Structure 1
Amino acid sequence: MKKFYETETLFADTGDRKIAYRSYGKGKTIIFVNRFRGTLDTWDPLFITMMAKRFNVITFDYSGIGSSGGTMAPDIAIVAKDIKDLADCLKLGTFIVLGWSYGGLVAQAATLLYPNLVTHAILLGTNPPGKNEVPFEQAFLGCRAKTHQ
């Protein structure tokens, strides 16, 4: 198995944008859904390495973040479509989602919107869906963390 730092960044062409992703290991697919503005490089390498011993771990950059094209959507349901579009491009049947922080909200949305695709949702340090008592500030949403074009 390739080491974390040896894994190539690939791109899934959805037609209107390219989603950057990496794939590690073999087995049932688990898509890691990152924190707000997290990129392919913000996951813990040891965590990915250990999970890749039993699963095909796929990490990705949201549209408009990191190496992915497009624009980051302000609506979590639209962001969750990145997961479906990536799965469609990779011809995945079903998969597990693992959401961390903001990614947990996105993973929950994907689980509800695409129940025929998502078999399990693992949520790490996240909130339940619905209205937040303290809404996101526009300044927080407006900044882009684009590292590559």
Structure 2
Amino acid sequence: MSQALVSMKSVYSVTEGQGRPILVLHGWGMNQAAWQPIRAQLTQHAQVTWVDLPGHGQSEAQTLGTLEQLVQVLEPLVQTNTCIIGWSLGGLVAQALAYALPDKVARLLLIGSTPCFVQKPTWPYALAPEILEQFATNLETHYEATVKRFFALQFMGTRHHPADLNQLRDAILQYPARLPALHQGLELLRSVDFSTRRLPVPSRWILGRLDKLVPIQVAEVLEQQGYEVMVLPHASHVPFVTHTSEFWAAVEPFIYD
């Protein structure tokens, strides 16, 4: 297995394995440590690049920036025929990369993500904007508690071993996201809306029926729009952690095809 470390001006990444290029993007407040439960499986037959988004993990930048700036920063990591895996906020970024680089992005695997995270008149299948506003307010006074609360929210409704989740949480928080990046991430979740656009590349959406952040009604709407959607009935927002076997069965044929 080959391995290479890349440190750019505003993004830190690790590349492992050989084969089809896969770019993996984590969610809000997280970093590449979140992928540990599936890391070995994913790198068996592919060249996988794990990214810490700007302002997260071991990336050097102090701010996440706008969506356009994120696309510009990540573009050098997108090779021809790349499959992008995006989870939660990372799914929004993956969609933006597909729109910007349709000749390079071969397909998208979108986990616990949606075209639009916050309710709009034309997109009611989302979080109330007050929820994100409360997170933003709490970050200023209770930073660590707010991040830990968000981490717990992602697993709500699922059965899991507390010790395993605490170990994963501690691994992620070893390199905590910077406060400016967290605020900018919330702004992206609040403002980005791809619900009226059609992705230009093949896409598979993996959703958990128990997800508290992405309402399950999104699955029906996406299917009506012609997308391929797979719903894991007992999973929440982080199916690759809590239901690894079911998740892997749903994604392996898609990413290696």
* Normalised-by-shorter TM-score class: 0.7 to 0.9
Q: Find 1:99's aligned residue among 86, 108, 115.
A: 86
Could you tell me how far apart the structure 2 residues matched to 1:125 and 1:49 are?
21
1:114 Cα offset (Å): 1.4
1:141 Cα offset (Å): 7.9
1:127 Cα offset (Å): 1.3
Q: Counterparts of 1:78-93 in structure 2 under 5 Å?
A: 78-87=69-78, 92-93=79-80
Q: Counterparts of 1:116-131 in structure 2 under 5 Å?
A: 116-129=103-116
| Bigger RCO (CA 8 Å, 6+ sep) | 1
Letter in 2 for 1:145: A
Q: Confirm or deny that 1:44 pairs with 2:30.
A: no
Q: Counterparts of 1:25-64 in structure 2 under 5 Å?
A: 25-45=17-37, 47-64=38-55
- Aligned-residue identity in percent: 24
1:63 Cα offset (Å): 1.2
For the pair shown, the structure with the greater C-alpha radius of gyration is: 2
Aligned residue in 2 for 1:112: 99
Is contact 1:62-1:72 (8 Å) kept? no
Letter in 2 for 1:19: V
Q: Find 1:12's aligned residue among 7, 15, 37.
A: 7
Structure with a larger share of its residues in strand: 1
Is contact 2:53-2:64 (8 Å) kept? no
Task: Give the count of matched residue pairs.
Answer: 132
- Give the match's secondary structure for 1:96: strand
Could you tell me how far apart the structure 2 residues matched to 1:105 and 1:99 are?
7
Letter in 2 for 1:64: G
Quick check: 66-75 or 110-119, which moved more? 66-75
1:113 Cα offset (Å): 1.3
- In structure 2, the gaps of 5 or more residues are 120-127, 144-175, 179-257
Could you tell me how far apart the structure 2 residues matched to 1:114 and 1:93 are?
10
CA RMSD of aligned residues (A): 2.6
Aligned residue in 2 for 1:23: 15
- Give the match's secondary structure for 1:31: strand
- Give the match's secondary structure for 1:22: strand
Is contact 2:23-2:77 (8 Å) kept? no
Is contact 1:12-1:86 (8 Å) kept? no
Q: Find 1:132's aligned residue among 108, 111, 118.
A: 118
Letter in 1 for 2:95: Q
1:106 Cα offset (Å): 0.9
TM-score (norm 2): 0.45
Rate the CA distance shift 1:79–1:18 in 2: closer, same or farther, 3 A.
closer
Structure with a larger share of its residues in helix: 2
Aligned residue in 1 for 2:56: 65
- Give the match's secondary structure for 2:12: strand
- 1:18-72 per-residue CA deviation (whole Å, 9 max, x = no partner) reads 4211112110111011111221212134x12111112111101111211112233
